[in-house]
Amino acid sequence: EMVMTQSPATLSVSPGERATLSCRASQTIIAGNLAWYQQKPGQAPRLLIYGASTRATGIPARFSGSGSGTEFTLTISNLQSEDFAVYYCQQYNNWPPWTFGQGTKVEIK
Amino acid sequence: QLQLEESGPGLVKPSETLSLTCTVSGGSISSANYYWGWIRQTPGKGLEWIADIYYSGRTFDNPSLKSRVTISIDTSKNQFSLKLSSVTAADTAVYYCASHNSGWYFDYWGLGTLVTVSS
């Protein structure tokens, strides 16, 4: 099973600043088979990024994904109040099973 | 746009079988473009993929659940279902149904339903 490790667990950022979230895979991911999700309290996860860097429909351009191999990054530029949430990465390279990271909480500094 | 909604009992007794149904609207569950899946979330283990099913009935499940999982599909009702047998307190979680389209990421999710395992 591929293990996904996210860091940091919590990130304190001021509105308007940039947040950089990391996701490390225990094995090499090919073809960018990695997704990012945002989850707010009481809500389901929402797809932000797939293919490591492609924004899902309706996702603002301030969200960007990058990386390859075992190291991936989600960057949120110019943080807005609605961006404070928990973010998860998910690999869909090695199956079964599909696996998620444990999440990074982005909180207001 | 697809909408998914989970339904089922919120309380299940230990050793019994958890049963949930996901109703899909805004699209056909028989679409060749989609796989349909179940994911659960607990404070301790985070998000855990449980199983997937295709309209043809082809299924995949998480080996960690040790064959306790049955996933099925009813194309006439535009629904798919999950059964998890021999539940314990560790199966207490929010259960989500979701879809895969063109890639193995989850593009649409239901709102989730809390299932508590307790006597």
Q: Check: CB of residue B21 under 8 Å from CB of residue B80.
A: yes
CB contact under 8 A, A45 and B110: no
Q: What percent of chain B has pLDDT over 90?
A: 87
- pLDDT tens sequence across B55-94: 999 999 999 998 899 999 999 999 999 999 999 999 999 9
Query: Which is it for strands A34-39 and A54-55: parallel, antiparallel or unpaired?
Result: unpaired
Q: Measure B51 CA to nearest chain A CA, in Å.
A: 9
For the four alpha carbons of B29, B107, B117 and B89, in that order, the dihedral sign comes to positive
CB contact under 8 A, B106 and A37: yes
Grade residue B44 by pLDDT with cuts at 50, 70 and 90: confident
Interchain contact A70–B (C-beta under 8 A)? no
Residue B91 DSSP label: G
Is residue A21 over pLDDT 90? yes
Cα distances from B18 to residues B15, B55, B59, in angstroms, run 9, 22, 18
CB contacts, 8 Å: A97 with chain B: 49, 62-64
Q: Which residue of B has its CA nearest to A100?
A: B47
- pLDDT tens sequence across B24-39: 999 999 998 899 999 9
Q: How much is the pLDDT for B103?
A: 81
pLDDT top residue among B52 and A96: B52
CB contact under 8 A, A47 and B103: no
Nearest residue, CB atoms, A35 vs list B60, B105, B109: B105
Grade residue A95 by pLDDT with cuts at 50, 70 and 90: confident
Backbone angles phi, psi at B67, to 5 degrees: 65, 20
CB contact under 8 A, A50 and B64: no
CB contact under 8 A, B109 and A45: yes
Residue identified by tokens 């899909």 is B24
> Which residues have a Cβ under 8 Å from the Cβ of B36 and sit 6 or more positions away?
B22, B24, B29, B52, B53, B54, B73, B80, B97, B98, B99, B100
Q: Check: CB of residue B37 under 8 Å from CB of residue B52.
A: yes
The mean per-residue pLDDT over the stretch A74-98 comes to: 94
Residue identified by tokens 């049955």 is B70
Cα distances from A57 to residues A29, B2, B107, in angstroms, run 23, 13, 10
CB contact under 8 A, B63 and A102: no
The mean per-residue pLDDT over the stretch A70-99 comes to: 95
Round to whole Å and give the CA distance between B27 and B24: 7
DSSP A35-52: EEEEE-TTS--EEEEETT
Q: How much is the pLDDT for A12?
A: 97
